Structure formats: C-alpha cells, structure tokens
C-alpha cells in the first residue's frame, strides 16, 4: 500500500485520483496484516486497489466527479466495495471519471483531482496531452501508470472497455446482474454494471471473482446465482474456438491503424487454433441512437434525487422550494449532465414517449436478438473497442462526435452481455489499441481465457 501511495503522489499530474487518505488506507492494511498473522486472511489479503468514484465508500468521500456531491461521504460501502474488502483488498483511494459516468473522454470530470486546484481531465499515461478515455478514465490511467495494481470501474455503454483500450490495459464488464448495483451511483440502471481493470486478464479474473455475487435483497436486478471462480478456465488453450467477426464493426468510420491492429490480433488467434467466422450484426448502426435515448431517459429519472434536500449541493439564496431545486441543480450539474437530463425528460414526455422511448425499447430487444442469433454460429465475438486511438484533450468539441465513437461497445451493453477489452498492439502515434471480446451471458470465464491466450 505504501509503495502505491507513493506512486500516486509522484504522478498527481495524471489527475487520476479524486481522493486519497493514507491514514485510512494504512488502517485497512493493518487489519489485513493482523488477519494474515492470525491465519484468517482472505484470498486477496493486502492487495491494494482503487475504486471508481461512483461506488460509495465509508472511509473516503464519494463525488461521482460532480460538484453536486463535492464533500459527500456515504454512511455505508457499496456491495462490490464490501465484497472486495471481505476478500482482503485495501482501498488506495477514489478514481476520477466523467461526471456521473456520462462521457467517453474523462473531460467531464467536474471536481479537482488530488493535488490540483481546478477540475481537469485525467491524462493518458502514454501521452499526457491525450484523453485516457471514459468514463472510467481514472481507473484506466491509474492501472496503466502502475499507481494501482487493479481498480474497479463501471460500464453503462463502454466505460470499462473503451478507457481500458485507450490506455493499453485489460478491463471486463460481467453479465448484467452479476455485480451488485447497491451503492453504485446510478446513471442508467438497466445498463449500469460494475467490473474491473488490471494489467492482465488473470488479474481481472481474480478481482472479478470476488467482486461479483448475488445481492438480491438490496439490488432488484441482482442475479440469484452463486459467486464463481472466473480463473477456472485460464488455460491459454483456445483450439477449436469459433470467433465471430461482425462485418459491421469493420465498416466506414473505423480508423485504418485500429483496423490493422485488430486484424493482426485476430490472425494470432487463428495461429492458436481458433477459426474466424464472418457474422453480421445488422442493427449495429442503431445502437448509438437507441442508447442515447434510453440512457438519458433513465438518467433524468435517476438524477431527480439530487434536489438539494436529501444530500448534495444546496443553493445559498432562493425564494421558495421550487426555486431552491432549480438553483441547486443549475449550479451543481455540469453541461453534459444537464444535456442528458433534458434529452431524457423530452423522450419520456407525453406525446413523445411512444415515438422515442418505446421505439428504442423495441429496437433494444432486436439488437439483443441479433447477438443471440450470432452466438448460434460462434463462441465469442471479437472486434474493435474504439474507432480510433486516444485523441488529444479538447480535440472533440461536438458531443455527437463522442457519442458516435461508442458504436462498438453499445451492442453488448444493450444486450446485457459480458464484454472486455484486451491489448491488441499499437496504432497511430504508438498509442495502444484494444481488442473487444463479447461473450454470451455467463461466459466470463471463457472470455477471460480468450484474452489470456494472447497475453
């Protein structure tokens, strides 16, 4: 823990941490020392990790990178934080992200990182003028720069896979419902899923095994399935594996450098005994519009709890209750969060609900069905994570441009499937490229082995 705290201190320029408290970390570490001495240690005793700042923690403040929650401290730990602590993990601190996990570049982080005066995007350790991806950019940058050996993160539409890809590390989101959402600050509840990032698939498998597990009393979408050992299939053998390659993932919009790196990785799999199967996911183009109707709809409802009354920022001067709500929310939410609340309120409003929300729900089902029929022809699906390597901070000013870059990660999210990113070499400017692997429901162990085989 001391080693990693010193690393985090030395790399404050990356803006990866939103909270560090060495006393709290070392107190947790001492508890693990005692457990080891007493012979009662858990399987991950003393392993220090960082948590994305959307998971509430008792020992550290939690902000979801929003001014709305600046200084907030939860009275309890999120289930996944508690699960990892029960296994022996020690918390190094809280990691930056886009405000309320809305974004794909970490430029929407709205509170200052540790050691800095103003809010700043997290920096990509491969080139600090570039974004690390998002929304879990703090988790990805911290792992890539060895400020933490592993980190938690969340993925609603790609927020684990895309930053993992752009920072050259491994990240996995499990099947929807595997990881508890209790104590995870909600963005779009039907899509939100916790997962992990680490340098390797083997490390991810270890962490994920302890993070997941049923929590049916506290999360109504938690699956009542026993915890699994996701390391159990890490043989590195994949002979006979059928890898589906969706042709729509290689169409217009994919940068040539990323295409070349992904195709080279697929060739390596063939050498290891896998067969590549040409498949089609015909509604890929619809994933972006469907997601950007459904997720703002859910966000507008979820974020109504931030009213200045129960917790969060409250405006100083106001005339009446309604004015207090309006001012508190106007002052504390960032631009992207406001945009999504507006879109969500619009698509849910009377007269538009059927045309947008209901229609998007129907298409979501069809996108999920397309993936299910693809799995009759292959065991896993592989393709790019992001259409390009990490871009320069400030380079994309149109929000639509970042939305469109989510095209390859959204289908698995909408279908609730497990999906991951594993390093696939380098593209333009010597920057990392990720290979996306999508599995059928509950196939995390297989997916991790496929990634492991190339590592």
- Give the catalytic positions in this structure: 52, 135, 159
Backbone φ, ψ for residue 181 (5° rounding): -100, 5
Q: Does 99 bind ligand GLN (CB under 6 A)?
A: no
Q: Does 110 bind ligand GLN (CB under 6 A)?
A: no
Q: Does 432 bind ligand GLN (CB under 6 A)?
A: no
Output 32 or 135, the one with its CB closest to ligand GLN. 135
Count how many Cα atoms sit within 13 Å of the Cα of residue 30 in the half-sphere of its side chain. 6
Residues that bind ligand GLN (rule: CB under 6 A) add up to a total of 13
Q: Which of 32, 57, 91, 156 binds ligand GLN (CB under 6 A)?
A: 156
Scan residues 389-408 and list those touching ligand GLN (CB under 6 A).
406
Interatomic CA distance for residues 59 and 24, integer angstroms: 6
Q: In Å, what is the CA distance from 407 to each residue of 155, 384, 404, 410? A: 14, 10, 6, 6
Residue 105 and residue 134 in contact, taking contact as beta carbons nearer than 8 Å: yes
Question: For ligand GLN, which stretch binds (CB under 6 A), given 64-72, 102-110, 201-209, 426-434?
Answer: 102-110
Q: Does 135 bind ligand GLN (CB under 6 A)?
A: yes
Interatomic CA distance for residues 378 and 365, integer angstroms: 20
Q: Which of 132, 157, 177, 246 binds ligand GLN (CB under 6 A)?
A: 157
Output 155 or 248, the one with its CB closest to ligand GLN. 155
Q: Does 138 bind ligand GLN (CB under 6 A)?
A: no
Q: Does 149 bind ligand GLN (CB under 6 A)?
A: no
Interatomic CA distance for residues 198 and 205, integer angstroms: 9
Output 81 or 414, the one with its CB closest to ligand GLN. 414
Q: In Å, what is the CA distance from 376 to each residue of 3, 265, 364, 434? A: 48, 23, 19, 25
Q: Does 104 bind ligand GLN (CB under 6 A)?
A: yes
Interatomic CA distance for residues 120 and 333, integer angstroms: 16
Q: How far is the CB of 95 from ligand GLN (least distance, A)?
A: 14
Interatomic CA distance for residues 66 and 62, integer angstroms: 9
Between 444-454 and 256-271, two packed helices, what is the crossing angle to 10 degrees?
Answer: 100
Output 25 or 170, the one with its CB closest to ligand GLN. 170
Q: How far is the CB of 85 from ligand GLN (least distance, A)?
A: 24
Q: How far is the CB of 155 from ligand GLN (least distance, A)?
A: 5
Interatomic CA distance for residues 60 and 413, integer angstroms: 29
Question: For ligand GLN, which stretch binds (CB under 6 A), given 120-128, 157-165, 257-265, 432-440?
Answer: 157-165
Q: Does 300 bind ligand GLN (CB under 6 A)?
A: no
In the three-class reduction of DSSP (H, G, I as helix; E, B as strand; rest coil), residue 434 is classed as strand
Q: 275-279 and 242-246 as β-strands: parallel, antiparallel, unpaired?
A: parallel
Q: Does 411 bind ligand GLN (CB under 6 A)?
A: no
CB atoms within 10 A of CB 291: 26
Output 59 or 192, the one with its CB closest to ligand GLN. 192
Q: How far is the CB of 44 from ligand GLN (least distance, A)?
A: 26
- Binding region for ligand GLN (CB under 6 A): 101-104, 135, 155-159, 187, 295, 406
């Amino acid at each position: 823990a001391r080693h990693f705290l010193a690393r985090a201190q030395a790399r404050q320029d990356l803006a990866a941490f939103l909270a560090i408290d060495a006393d709290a970390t070392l107190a947790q570490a001492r508890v693990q020392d005692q457990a080891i001495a007493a012979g009662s240690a858990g399987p991950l005793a003393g392993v220090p990790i960082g948590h994305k700042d959307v998971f509430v923690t008792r020992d550290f403040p939690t902000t979801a990178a929003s001014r709305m929650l600046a200084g907030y401290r939860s009275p309890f730990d999120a289930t996944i934080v508690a699960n990892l602590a029960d296994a022996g993990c020690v918390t190094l601190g809280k990691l930056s992200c886009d405000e309320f996990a809305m974004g794909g570049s970490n430029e929407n982080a709205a509170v200052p990182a540790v050691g800095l005066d103003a809010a700043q995007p997290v920096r990509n350790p491969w080139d600090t003028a570039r974004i690390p991806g998002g929304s879990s950019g703090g988790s990805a940058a911290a792992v890539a720069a060895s400020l933490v050996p592993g980190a938690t993160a969340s993925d609603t539409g790609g927020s684990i896979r895309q930053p993992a890809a752009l920072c050259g590390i491994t990240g996995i989101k499990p099947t929807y419902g595997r990881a508890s959402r209790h104590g995870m600050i909600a963005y779009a509840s039907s899509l939100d899923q916790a997962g992990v990032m680490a340098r390797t698939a083997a490390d991810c498998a270890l962490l994920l095994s302890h993070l997941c597990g049923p929590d049916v009393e506290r999360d109504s979408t938690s699956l009542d399935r026993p915890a699994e050992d996701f390391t159990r299939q890490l043989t590195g053998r994949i002979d006979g594996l059928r890898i589906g390659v969706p042709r729509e993932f290689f169409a217009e919009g994919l940068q040539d450098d990323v295409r070349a790196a992904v195709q080279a990785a697929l060739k390596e799999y063939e050498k290891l005994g896998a067969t590549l199967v040409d498949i089609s996911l015909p509604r890929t183009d619809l994933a972006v519009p469907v997601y950007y109707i459904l997720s703002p709809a859910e966000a507008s409802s979820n974020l109504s709890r931030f009213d200045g009354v129960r917790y969060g920022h409250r405006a100083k001067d106001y005339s009446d209750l309604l004015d207090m709500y309006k001012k508190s929310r106007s002052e504390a939410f960032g631009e992207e969060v406001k945009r999504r609340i507006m879109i969500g309120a619009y698509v849910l409003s009377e007269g538009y609900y059927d045309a947008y929300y209901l229609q998007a729900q129907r298409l979501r089902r069809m996108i999920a069905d397309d993936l299910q029929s693809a799995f009759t022809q292959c065991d896993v699906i592989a393709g790019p994570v992001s259409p390009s390597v990490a871009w320069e901070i400030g380079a994309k000013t149109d929000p639509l441009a970042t939305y469109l870059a989510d095209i390859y990660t959204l289908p698995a999210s909408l279908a609730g499937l497990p999906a991951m990113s594993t390093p696939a070499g380098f593209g333009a400017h010597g920057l990392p490229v990720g290979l996306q692997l999508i599995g059928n429901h509950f196939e995390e162990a297989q997916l991790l082995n496929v990634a492991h085989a190339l590592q």
